[in-house]
Chain A
Amino acid sequence: MAVDTNKLSDAESLRKTRTYGKFRCHNPTCMGRLKPKPGDKHVRCPVCTCEFRVAWIRPDFPRIRGPVWEVNKKIAEAAFKKKMEGK
């Protein structure tokens, strides 16, 4: 037979390195680990200070939703102003 079925492909071996159960900050270069306290409706990223809404699938299973609009909007406006000044 031409094909070896027992050898794991790269895709298969990469899959084994995955982690479960935590979520990451939506800020793509930040990606800080977020661990909301049980029942929290919002969570603030300890690294970049962005805030996100939290939904609880089960009492021990949080999921990230979208931004807390007012908070992140202010952060974005401040960052934009600062960057434009720098140009």
Chain B
Amino acid sequence: MALDRKIAYINLTTGEVEVKPIPLDVRRKFLGGRGLDAYLLLNHSEKGCDPLGPDNPLIVSGGILTATCASATARTHVMAKSPLTGLLGSCNMGGFFAPEMAWAGFHHLVIKGKAEKPSYIYIHDGEIEIRDAENVWGKTTTDTQWAIRDELNDQEVKSLVIGPAGENLVAFANVMTGIKNAGGRTGMGAVMGSKNLKAIACRGTMDIKIAHPIEALEYNKRFIDQITSAKVNKTQGTLGTPFIWGATNSWGGVRTRNFQYNQCEYADDIEPEAIDEICEDTMGPYHMSGCFGCQVHCRAQYRIPSGPLKGTYEEGPEYTSQGAFGGETDTPRAETVLVGNHLVDQYGMDNLETGSLISWAMELYEEGIISSKDTDGLDLRFGNDEAVLEMIERICFRKGKVADALANGGIPASKTFGKNAFDYLIQVKGMSNLHSDERATPALALNIATSSRGSDHLRSRPAIDLYHLPEKVLRKIYSSPIPYEGPLSSEHTAYIGKAWQVFWQENCYMGVDCLGICKYHTTFLGATLPNFEDWPKVLYYNTGLEFTPEELWDIAERCNMIERLFNLREGLTRDDLAKGDMINHRYFDEPCRRGAPDVVGLTIDRGKFTVMIDEFYEHKGLDKKGKPKAKTLKRLGLENEPSHML
């Protein structure tokens, strides 16, 4: 049974391991995955704990549906207090790790303490060992995985690892599995590094009993048909996420030269089709690959087409890498994007944060806030491809003043650089923004401002807002499972009704993250994909648990509130640009200069933005300061947190 998967508490200081079942009443309140992670984080961390100290709990999980007979249940979630933001640290990744962990008997790991020397955890069929990792310390992410397989003499072992960036405590080091699947954001790799934990290796051959196997199989077929027939997923399966770049850069939604422009001109070389051609040339016509049990297969394969690393195999690049190493730095050259993507994967650091901070440093260089003396002679100007790739390496190994400062994250670096460096930093809650430019899309601006883990497009973005769906269609989506009769607008530049859309998406994404399935299988990029109404069936057939769509909505709302409680405990305040629900002043002050004629000249209206936040808080049951009202906590059953049920 999926429900008999256990939780393990591992203390790296003492080597003690305690295994417990996950009670059904906890499941009914938090399901699993990200939701239960948030509950565990709130309950197992002390206020103000040091993110890189031994007391910060590192929580690794699969969702309640992980490895069951449902579509794309591949997602691994990792949580801890973030060394980048000092608030919620949270990342989610595809690949094959969480299913292997589930077959090995576990859904959640809570890892505390600090190992005396480099170590890794090996989990196999219910057993947990802490092993010596001296031999793999210093190795890249892929080398580490293959070395662990060789050491354990088992090529089926799946590992979650950190690269050199995690070891060097780069504040945005990620955790990785496979070639490129990364839990990229909020620096969970640095938390692992701080614990001397190089990897978690899993190997499982334990049955997960399916409650109603024949029905689950049949329903899964229908579910998959629904998912693969969506046009957006067909495109995903052909071009991967780079497909988003095409229209977005065309209309002017791509942050360029840090925040100077909203479109990267003459970017033909990194257009999705151009990248697809490289994939095809180097890997043949069938160059897409998939995560566990997923038929969208959005992960492209390529070999670096030219330059010193020519012929090196890599996967991706994602939309994020196009922006991070092409758009923001104004270096729209395929080789730069593909090599940059490869380097961050090998070093184990977040491509988004890395590219965004490099482009910020480039603007500071242009403004004279940092000089070539600070960069040890590196010409850190926009458009300098070599400088981008050089900076990736320097940040990973903390070489030189600028790179070492950047490795600590944007806000600490802005203090090192001094002057008004902070004004140029495009971040929310200490985490850099995606390269998307939200000045023409208030709903998306609200999303990044209020996202629980800092600026983020995967926590509440109503991406379908750009499709100009008829209001009737919007209403159909956004008034279920909870009735909504307020205003909705098909216009992406409007402010009305957007707060509800963001609130709805926040719950929708929490839902999939608790289930352990991928966001491409829900209302994210496609309006016709499954959500609350479809999930009860999958849950019932696979686990035997009965839920109504409304109950799942309540769970999602509850889990989001837990994340909010954690952030409030750690110092979130509404208008604080460094730690609150606020975006950089440039969104309000600098109009878009490029792109479609309807987009140029647009800014976010500060007054209307404030009203949107008020509305969003109202939907969430928060007061004007962003704190939950007593009746909200009571309604969600959270009045006694931390309640220590697990």
Contact = CB atoms under 8 A, between A and B. Distances in A.
A50 B528 contact: no
A28 B440 contact: yes
Nearest to A26: B250
Interface in A18-64: 18, 20, 26-31, 48, 50, 52, 55, 63-64
Interface stretch (B61-69, B159-167, B226-234, B306-314): B226-234
Interface in B495-536: 523, 527-531, 533-534, 536
Contact of B596 (A12, A27, A83): A27
A23 B530 CA distance: 25
Given A28-B466, A31-B468, A14 B598 contact: no
A27 B595 CA distance: 8
B482 to A, nearest CB: 13
B638 to A, nearest CB: 27
Contacts of B537: 3, 5
A51 B142 CA distance: 44
Given A5-B537, A69-B266, A27 B598 contact: yes
B267 interface: yes
A15 B596 contact: no
Contacts of B480: 10
B211 to A, nearest CB: 12
Given A2-B540, A10-B476, A15-B528, A26 B247 contact: yes
Given A30-B598, A55-B273, A79-B600, A11 B528 contact: yes
Contacts, number: 116
Contacts of A28: 251, 440, 466, 468, 492, 596, 598-599
Contact of A11 (B491, B534, B593): B534
Given A10-B477, A66-B250, A27 B528 contact: no
Contact of A83 (B477, B492, B601): B601
Nearest to B253: A28
Interface string B202-216: 000000000000010
Nearest to B533: A9
A9 B480 CA distance: 11
A14 B529 CA distance: 9
Given A14-B476, A69-B265, A76-B593, 10 more contacts: A3-B537, A3-B546, A10-B533, A11-B530, A15-B230, A29-B596, A48-B596, A63-B273, A76-B595, A79-B600
Interface of A: 2-3, 5, 9-12, 14-15, 17-18, 20, 26-31, 48, 50, 52, 55, 63-67, 69, 72-73, 75-76, 78-80, 83-84
Interface of B: 215, 219, 222, 226, 229-231, 246-247, 249-252, 265-268, 271, 273, 440, 466, 468, 473, 476-477, 480, 491-493, 523, 527-531, 533-534, 536-537, 540-541, 546, 591, 593-601
15 contacts: A3-B536, A9-B534, A11-B226, A12-B528, A14-B476, A15-B528, A20-B231, A26-B596, A27-B598, A27-B599, A28-B492, A29-B491, A29-B598, A63-B273, A65-B271
